[in-house]
Structure formats: C-alpha cells, structure tokens
Amino acid sequence: MTVMEGLRVPPELSARVPAENRGDGRDAVRLLVGRRAAGSVSHHGFGELPCLLRAGDVLVVNTSRTLPAAVDGRLGEKPVVVHFSTRQDDGRWAVELRTPDARGTTLPRAGGPAGVVVALPGGERLTLLAPLSARGERLWLAAASVADVPAYLGRYGRAIRYGYTERDQPLAAYQTVFSVPSADGLGSAEMPSAGRPFTAGLVTELVSRGVQIAPIVLHTGVASAEAHEPPYPERFAVPASTAWLVNAARAGGGRVVAVGTTAVRALESATSGRGRVRAARGWTDLVITPERGVRAVDGLLTGLHDPEASHLLMLEAVAGRALLERVYGAAVAGGYLWHEFGDVNLLLP
C-alpha cells in the first residue's frame, strides 16, 4: 500500500494534450516545490527552475529516446495492440498485448496463452513464449520473426497512448530535449517524462548559472496506466563522467537532483552503500523504498503519479511521508495536471 492510496485525483486533472497544445510551449507547465527540512510547499512556473537551484548542483537526466513501441496486430480474428517493452539479451522481447477500444486507445487484456502467434504488419509475426515474471502475466516473453525490431517499429509503430489522453500525438511529442539515439537502436517504451518540460533555452540558463547536467541512460519498459507494479528489470548505463560529477558535487556541498524516477533508479544502481557512484551498465532490478532509502540523490524532479503507483515509494524515500502527503494534497487542491503531459513536482532537501 502506497502513502497516497487514500487520495482521490479527479479525472479532470489528467493532462489530455501536451503543454504546447495548451499554452506557449513545453515549459508552460506548473512546478510544485516541496522542501523536506522546512516542510514547506510553494507554487511556481517551470521557467523558475533555474532560480530554485544553485551553482554546484547537478541535474541527472535520462537520455533514452522514446520508441514508437505500439504496433497493431491480430490474434486470430481479433485485433490487438502489441506494446514492445524491453529486448532481452537473447533477442527475445518482453511485450504486452492490449485490446483496442473505440477511441484510439487500448484496454488491458489477459496475457497469453503460450504458443499463440500474433500477426503483425508487413507479414511478420510474434510468438508468445512464457510470462516474463512469476509476478503476473501482463508482460510476456516473445519471439519476433523480424530481426531488427527497433527498425521495424520505426516503420510500423507509434507512441504508446493511454485512455486519459485526447488524441494521438507525433512521436516528437514523446521525446525530451535530452534524448539521443542509441547505437543499437534501443530506447524506452514509454517516455522518461520528467524531462519533457525542459527546453534548450532553459538548459542554457541552468548551465550559465553553474548547474551541471549529468547524463544517464535507462530504457524504460511498459508500465501500463492500470498496473501500478514495481518496475521490472531495465537496461541502464551510468558513464564515468556522470559518476565523477555526482561525487564531486556531493564532496563540494552541491545537491544531486534526479530528473525523473528513471534517473534515480539508474544512479542508485551504480552507488555503493557509502554513497559513492561508479561507472556501471547492464540490468537493474533495484526497487527503491523508504526502507532502502537513497544514497546518492538529494532531490527529485518528477511528474505527478497516480495515488496507487509504486513510484510513490521512491518519492517517499526522497521526501519523507509528511512532505509527500502535503505536496500531493496541494497538487489536488491547486488543480495541478497529472501524467506525462502534465505539471511537475520538485522535491528538495
């Protein structure tokens, strides 16, 4: 049970279109700031972020690029939508099958069964093999007949979209200013959305004020709006340059602020029990809870999460229960917008 499970978020607080469709640009979102030491909450525009940070702080950002991971298919006579989540080391993919609805989005469906074949565009096929995990049958390991799945997605796929959004958006709407293509073509099934409000101009202002930008990579898998499960293992990389920047900042009194829960997961996966970050890459199965705590991260910039979401355990680890309750209560009372196109929350020490 998460700390916010009793909170109700009215449906009208779901952001249905990107900020640039509602106002002046990507950064035209609101910023709710919570400070743990003071127990205070304050309201800002996202453009004020450079004034809320200080020289010597480090922003850790996820550079993973969002894939067009949703593809139409058929299971016998029934239409399905395949969400390609994560490529395994042996070339198989973790996938989720969804049922298309009448509004251009999808609904959950029962997984499997093993051995069924999904017909895909271009004469390709996908064979379901086994559930990814004993935790449930939402995600399945599957073998695709096409060798280069990322290239195939580029031809036939589109961004994953959930029912709270109003309409399809171009893939560019799901990329952040930090995203860069990877050499192997892999990326995130769902956008690392905390970085979405940043613009090139805002990044320039942050750097000019002495805030360092440190990249990591974590390719996010399919979360699903309804599942609220702890994250599955995901690919990550923390370069040596980022490890050095974070360690130097902490030694010099600067604050390490992660942009998104994905950045927290990657950085903490590369951190020793004493809080020293090292270069690392591979798979992480780390789940951050209040009991485990955080060792390298001082603050977190993130979107607003559903009350049942497992992400809130990580937020509680960063901010503490009392502040998190205050922040989320203020967000509902203030009419802040939820989900990937919504407003953001900055948690500081």
Q: What is the pLDDT of residues 230-266, one digit of tens each?
A: 889 999 999 999 999 999 999 999 999 999 999 999 9
Q: What is the pLDDT of residues 52-68, one digit of tens each?
A: 999 999 999 999 999 99
Residue 308: its pLDDT value, please? 86
Is it the case that residue 229 has pLDDT exceeding 90? no
Is it the case that residue 3 has pLDDT exceeding 70? no
Is it the case that residue 95 has pLDDT exceeding 90? yes
Q: How confident is the model at residue 41 (pLDDT cuts 50, 70, 90)?
A: very high
Share of the chain above pLDDT 90, in %: 88
Residue 96: its pLDDT value, please? 96
Q: How confident is the model at residue 2 (pLDDT cuts 50, 70, 90)?
A: low
The residue-averaged pLDDT of 300-317 equals 93
Residue 293: its pLDDT value, please? 95
Is the bond into 113 cis (omega within 30 degrees of 0)? yes
- Residue 191, classified by CB atoms within 10 Å of its CB into exposed (0-12), middle (13-18) or buried (19+), is buried
Q: How confident is the model at residue 146 (pLDDT cuts 50, 70, 90)?
A: very high
Mean residue pLDDT of the chain comes to 95
Residue 230: its pLDDT value, please? 84
Residue 136: its pLDDT value, please? 78
Is it the case that residue 1 has pLDDT exceeding 70? no
Q: How confident is the model at residue 198 (pLDDT cuts 50, 70, 90)?
A: very high
Is it the case that residue 276 has pLDDT exceeding 60? yes
Residue 310: its pLDDT value, please? 87
- Are 111 and 131 in contact by the 8 Å Cβ rule? The answer is yes
- Are 231 and 219 in contact by the 8 Å Cβ rule? The answer is no
Q: 20-39: buried (b, 16+ CB within 10 Å) or exposed (e) per residue?
A: eeeeeebbebbbbbbbbeee
Q: What is the pTM of this model?
A: 0.95
How far does CA 220 lie from the centroid of its chain? 6
Residue 207: its pLDDT value, please? 98
